[in-house]
Every structure is written in C-alpha cells, then in structure tokens.
Chains A and B, each alone.
Chain A
Amino acid sequence: MNIRNTITIDGTPVPFQDGDTIMDAATRAGIYIPHLCHNPEFKPHGSCKLCTVNVNGRNCSACTFPAADGQQVLNSTEELNATRRTITQMLFVEGNHFCPSCEKSGNCQLQGVAYFLNMLDPHFPLFYPERETDSSHPDILLDRDRCILCELCVRASREIDGKNVFGLSGRGIHTHLVVNADSGLLKDTDLTPADKAAQVCPVGAIIVKRHGFETPIGARQFDQQNVSEWSLSWEPAAMGDEHG
C-alpha cells in the first residue's frame, strides 16, 4: 500500500489504496456517499448515478471512478444532493412504488435514500408502466413494478451463485428484467431463497415469500437507522470480498 495516496472529500483528507474507487476510499474512511446500484460485495456498475460526486470540477460516479492522488472531491453539497434527489424521484416515477402496501417498506434502500435526501414528493408525472409480476416460484416473488434496474440480482446470480438467473432486456425506458428460462418464469429456474440473488435486491422487487412481515413496521432497518448509518455499519467490512 502506498501511504502517500490521499484525496480530499469535502475538504477532509482521505487516504486510499491502489485500485480504490472514490467510493471505496470514502467507505473505508467512514464517509457515506449515497448509492443504490453499488454494493461493495460486487464489481462496480455505475448505472443509477446516485453516487454522483464532483471531482476537480467534473461530475463522476464515485462507485466507478478511480481515486487518484490530489483529487478534490465534493460529496455532501446542496447541489449534489439536489441532483441525487432528482434521480431518486425519477426512480420512483418510472416504476410503480406503492410503499404502504409493499412488504419491503422500511427495509427498502430506495425509501432509505429518499428519506436521507429529504425527498418530499415525486415531483415528476408518474409513468404508471405496465410490468409483469412473476409469482410462479414457490418461495420467491418477482414484482417488476418495484425494480430499479440496478442489476444487483443479475450480478449476484452470475458472479456468486454461478446461475445466471437474471438479465436485462429491452432498451431505454423499456428496459426490463428478464428471467433466464424457456418459459421466462422463475419457477423454471434453479433459484433458491438461499441464493445471493434472492437476497440482494435493494428494493422490494425480489422477495422471499412468507417472511415479509416477520419484523413489524416501525422496527425495520430504516426505522432504526438512517441509510448512511446502516451502510457504514457493514460495508467497510464487506469490502475485502470483491478484490479476490
């Protein structure tokens, strides 16, 4: 490790290791940068853009942009948080998110960042897309209405479970999650509730059946901690895994 490697985040010097992204360096240092498609157990992806930071005057995705000596990174500014709030609003209006009736409510990271960013309304006209729900699997529900296209399930199934159960299809606003089976249905895959892919969804799109209400609303993840505290409580320790 090279100890001279240092960037600043909002003026605070932060050391980084060779190969670190800005997100890696921040996480190690206990600094939260809002994120959704990033999960330190997986290779960086860079699609949601929630982690947008400003590096030496340019907007970059913290989860994919390599840290380099002397970078001045802006993270917690009003302007960047406004950008992130807009992104969060877009994710809400693009799908169908009826939080009060969603099992994931309170454990949902999309909700979590919305609270964190003080998002008070969806702002944009809702799209009300028609998306298919797949309840064919005995133990796992796929509710595409809630999918934010982060590809974490795709990556988990490919990289960790070795199964390739999911993939993205379509283009543009018609991009959607597909299931890797002749029938296109989850029941015809070898997905099990123990798979990483069944557990990694940041929202309520992939849900293990019959466990939804084990923790009552009010005692759930983001009822107790905000999303930044929650992220920093486990992500620094999980970081080692990805650099295998």
Chain B
Amino acid sequence: MTISDADQAWLSAVVANHGRHATRLLQILRDVQDHFRHIPRPVMQLLAEQLGVPLAQVQGVTEFYSFLSTQPQGRYHLQLSDSISDHMLGSRALGTYLCDKLGVADGETRADGRVSFAYTSCSGLCDQGPAGLVNGWWLPKLDRSRIDRISALVEADVPLSQWPQDLFSARDNVRRPGLLLSNPVASGSALKWSLMRGLASTLDEVDKSGLRGRGGAGFQTSWKWRFCFEGPEETAVCPVEKGERMERYVVCNADEGEPGTFKDRVLLNSHAHQVFEGMTLCAGIVGAKQGFLYLRGEYLALRAKLEAVLAERRRLNLLGVGILGREGFDFDIEIHMGAGAYICGEESALIESLEGKRGTPRNRPPYPVTHGYLGRPTVVNNVETFVAAAAIALKGGVWFASHGTEKSKGSKILSICGDCARPGIYEYDFGVSIAQILKDCGAANTFGVQVGGPSGVFIGEQEFERRLGFEDLATGGSFMIFDKTRDVLEIVRNFTHFFAHESCGFCTPCRVGTSLLRNAMDKLCAGHGAAGDLVEIGNLGQFVRAASHCGLGQTAANPLLATLERFPELYQSRLKSISFEPGFDLDGELSTARRMTGRDDAHAHLEQESV
C-alpha cells in the first residue's frame, strides 16, 4: 500500500494537531485506525519519522492494543462483547447469526472490505447486554431484530451518523442511589467552599472521611495526595520549596476494564462535573497543573459529552488559569483514550500508555505517586474516588465517615449484572450483606456471586451473609450473579480466556501461565480432564498468583482457585471417568520384556497409576 498525497497531508495535520509529541502516539494511532481502518506500515514509518521514535516502537504500540490492527478492517467494524453476562444472554448465538447474515467470519473482514467482525472483552454494558460496538460506538440490547436492522444499514452503506439513534442509546439504569448519587455536588460549589476554607483543610476533611480508593486496592486517598504533594524522597531536602519545584499530575482512571463493571460509565455520563471537580480539588492540594482522564476505548460514546463539560468548566473558570480568580491556581484536563487493553487500568501501565507506549506495568518501587507520568509525582485515582472526594470537600469528612463500617467508610457504587430482575447501578453504605443486595435486585435461585469481577472472588450460597467492605469482601464494583442453571466451569473458562487475552506478556509467569490455565480449562470443559489435571491446574493457579509481576497475573487464577476450593465436586464430575480406566495396560505391555529378561520381581512390574 502506498499513501496518497492527500492522506500524507491528512497525517501531517493530525501529527501537528497532537503537537508532534511522542506521548500522543497512541492517540494518533487511534485517529489513523479510524481513517484507514487499520495502521498501514507506510504510516508507521511516517509516524516514526515525524515523532522521532523508532519504527519498532510504533509497531510495538500498534500490536499491543486490541483496537488497533495491522490488517484492514471493514468500514463497519462490528464487535460483540465476550463478557460472561453477555454470553448468558446468548451473545455467541447472536454473533453466529450476525456473521451468517452479513457473510463475514469471526476475526475477518469481508472480501468487499465493507464489514468485519470480532469478539471483544467486556464493553461496559453488562446491564443492557448482549452488547456490541460498531466502529467503537455502543450497541446495547442487541437481539435478532436489531441485528437485522444493523445488517440492512451496513448493506445499504448508510453512514453511522445517519443510523437511528435508538441503536446507540445506552441507559444509566440507576436503581438505588445512595450517599453519593443522592447528594450530587453542584458544579463549582465544592471548589468555592474549599478555596474559602483553605485547600489544606480540604485535605484534612478527606483524611477525616477515611476515604479509600474505589478502584480496588483501597489505598487511603488522603495519604496518596499527601505523598504526591511531598514528592520523591531525593528532593525532600528543603520542605518549604518542594511544592514548587517539580511538575505534578492528576490522573483519573476511567479504564473500567474489569468485566461486569460499568459504574464509572454512569458517573461520567451523568456526574462528569463532579468527577472533574474532584480532580481539580486534588490538583489544588498537590500542586498539579495538568490532569488526564484516561478513558477506555469502549467509552468513545462518552467522549464528546465529556469534552463539552470540560469546555463549560473552562468557561465557568473552574478550569484553566487562575481558577475562580485564585492567582497561581492553574489546572486543565486532557482526555486520553485507551484502545482495548484491560492492563491499562493498572496505574503504572496506564501511565506508560499515557506516555504513548505499550501498556506494560512498571517495576515498583518507585510508585507513581512519586515517580509517575514522565517520572513526576502523579496521583492516580478511580472515577468514583474523585466523585467521593468532591462530596467530602463540600459536606465534610464526618458526614462521609458516619456511613459504612470501621475500616470502610462511606458507600460503594455497584454495577450489578447477570441473573437478576433489575441489573444496573446500586449504591450502598459499606457493610451491606450480599443477601440484601440479591434481594434488592430481584435475584432468585442464586447459585453464587462473583464479587469484584473476574479478579475478585466467587462466593456461594453459604456465604451470602458476608458483607461488602475492605475487612471482608472488597470490590471495585463488579457484582455478577449466577443462578443454579449456570455451569460454573463455563464461567471460570470464560474468565481464564479473558485473562489470557489481556495478559500484557511482560512477565513469564503470567504470559505463559494464563495461556496454560486457559488451555487446561478448555480441556476440562471439553470433558477430556483426568484427576491429575485437577491437581495440576490447582498448582498452576497458585504459581501464577504467587509469581506474577502485577495484579493481573496475581488475580488471574482467582475464579479457578475460589471455585475449585468451594465446589471440588463440580470439577470432579467433569472428569472423563472418576475411576480412571486407562486406554491400555501398562504392566501388560511389560510382559514381553519380563519374559525376555527372565524377571518377575517387584521392580519388573509397573503399578497402574490409580486415581
């Protein structure tokens, strides 16, 4: 393929628009993918030249992210979410229907180049599945009639901008607002109040509130902000000056890649001002001038709206230079899009991705809070953490801390999907029991719940009195419900496929181990497993958990290990035969050798491995 003059001019303009910064490589590649429907090799070469990075790096980034491809995709690229909740709603059968209808194969582009199809990891619409994407735009609530309509639009070559809006419109589905969702912060109010009272006392309020990170790890938010403010040890010689000396960054983690999590989608859709208000407060406290919202590629549909909110905040002087008239309080926020990589939710991989690189987790220490974006002190917090911080700034730490439990203050917003009557968003004070949640969302005949998504824990019926909170069941917000008609091994198989697909490949235990786990689950589910395989898969799971570099590998075996421990009988019932009948008689095979050597002692016999 050669690049036309017009396309070259287009590319140069794009690169110039992005300021020729190598940190923008991934953002530029997203534009290129959109324009050419793939990343042509000659474009990689041009980009390498114009950005001053090695071609191998451009290729390395391109081939890391699922949403970028080196082979041309169709002008309409259709994807179906492979999340377990979509599976349970019949997504695989729909996928086959769609492929037949359009004459396209899974993972391929139709010969005329018009349409291509692929399965993708959870698209963040588990409450309105089966869900998909067309050129990155949401397609919720798919069924055969919608597929028929979509196929007709594709065949008639109707531009996406002219497709009926109802095909795209996703709903918030807020079913149970709690502490935060019932007390939204009017834009600017938390900032005004904080500036009046002094930003230092806002940090005190966040401290008093006991707020811990909502992205999963649960680190104390006020400490993180304080560490960032204090900066790296090696520069901490002169406390008075250090606030001034070094750039600092505030990053909002909106990668929300954990299958079954979609509460950040709703917060960004309906409470974006509050998210940005929280970021701005944080920036004021730590002394950051630049912020980033790292938005997962699957949330493309939110982007324009978020840009509009940012523009409005600039107009209201809630962002920009001299925020609310305070001299020296300068801060702005840029949106960076992901491109289909769950690992980029891990904070150090996210920062690598922000820098335009492959999303590989860094070695720690040092931590991002002292050595983050471009090596500078960086706060990375979850969307919900910033929402809570803004509310705390306005209403005070005591207000927040009077909810929840001893070690888990405040509330948690849950994304509930799977087997229940009312999937959607539920907010509870920490300490709520699983049984209560199941009752509220109309779950019946429940077998188990995957709390915290595939990287969390699977609990069964006997544990429904357990409670949400860091002291018992911690969660980033995913809550997937499975009733008694479901096949636990198929669920685990789905999760092991997810992790194998999303492993970044940096470290050996996870790169190889997650693929071995996936293959072992395939074997078990296909009915080819023997008792030895169960021992083996358990050991392998423990190994991957203990030896992996980052949280992805360390949690990849959780679904397997949790269910193997709780329901060993379900695994055993899938073995080829419980009393193993070997295909041939090992000892019998040795009889010729025994005759020839004239031996018949104990060592000349082989005991059949009994299982």
Q: Are A168 and B547 in contact (CB under 8 A)?
A: no
Q: Which residues of B contact A181 (CB under 8 A)?
A: 55
A167-185 contacts to B (CB < 8 Å): 167-175, 178-182
- A52 to B365 Cα, complex, angstroms: 16
Q: Is A127 an interface residue (CB 8 A)?
A: yes
Q: Are A171 and B509 in contact (CB under 8 A)?
A: no
Q: Is A234 an interface residue (CB 8 A)?
A: no
- A66 to B234 Cα, complex, angstroms: 15
Q: Which residues of A contact B505 (CB under 8 A)?
A: 149, 170-175
Which listed residue, A59, A86, A169, A173, touches B60 by the CB 8 Å rule?
A: A169
Q: Which residues of B contact A52 (CB under 8 A)?
A: 547
Which listed residue, B365, B502, B516, touches A172 by the CB 8 Å rule?
A: B502
Q: Is B57 an interface residue (CB 8 A)?
A: yes
Q: Which residues of B contact A50 (CB under 8 A)?
A: 508
Residue of B nearest to A84 (CB): B547
Q: Are B59 and A169 in contact (CB under 8 A)?
A: yes
Residue of A nearest to B64 (CB): A171
Question: Within the complex, what minimum Cβ distance (angstroms) separates B250 from chain A?
Answer: 27
Question: Within the complex, what minimum Cβ distance (angstroms) separates A10 from chain B?
Answer: 19
Q: Is A200 an interface residue (CB 8 A)?
A: no
Which listed residue, A124, A171, A180, touches B341 by the CB 8 Å rule?
A: A171
Residue of A nearest to B554 (CB): A59
A58-105 contacts to B (CB < 8 Å): 59, 61, 64, 66, 83, 86-87, 90-91, 93-94
Q: Which residues of B contact A93 (CB under 8 A)?
A: 512
Tell me which of B63, B65, B341, B505 has the highest count of chain A C-beta atoms within 10 A of its own C-beta: B505
Which listed residue, A47, A90, A167, touches B57 by the CB 8 Å rule?
A: A167
Q: Are A173 and B511 in contact (CB under 8 A)?
A: yes
Which listed residue, B54, B55, B365, B509, touches A90 by the CB 8 Å rule?
A: B509
Q: Are A167 and B501 in contact (CB under 8 A)?
A: no
Question: Within the complex, what minimum Cβ distance (angstroms) separates A21 from chain B?
Answer: 10
Residue of B nearest to A52 (CB): B547
Q: Are B54 and A173 in contact (CB under 8 A)?
A: no
Q: Are A46 and B363 in contact (CB under 8 A)?
A: yes
Residue of B nearest to A86 (CB): B543
Which listed residue, B60, B506, B513, touches A47 by the CB 8 Å rule?
A: B506
Which listed residue, B54, B514, B543, B549, touches A180 by the CB 8 Å rule?
A: B54
Q: Which residues of B contact A49 (CB under 8 A)?
A: 507-509, 547-549
Tell me which of B41, B514, B543, B547 has the highest count of chain A C-beta atoms within 10 A of its own C-beta: B547
Q: Are B56 and A170 in contact (CB under 8 A)?
A: no
Q: A149-B505, A167-B60, A169-B64 are in contact. List 17 more A-B contacts (CB 8 A).
A: A46-B549, A47-B506, A47-B507, A49-B508, A49-B509, A49-B549, A61-B363, A83-B543, A87-B508, A125-B516, A167-B57, A169-B62, A170-B63, A172-B500, A172-B515, A173-B505, A175-B505
30 contacts between A and B (CB under 8 A): A47-B506, A47-B507, A48-B508, A49-B547, A61-B363, A61-B549, A66-B365, A86-B509, A90-B513, A90-B516, A94-B512, A124-B516, A164-B54, A167-B56, A168-B358, A169-B60, A169-B62, A169-B63, A170-B63, A170-B505, A171-B63, A171-B65, A171-B503, A172-B501, A172-B502, A173-B512, A175-B506, A178-B56, A178-B60, A180-B56
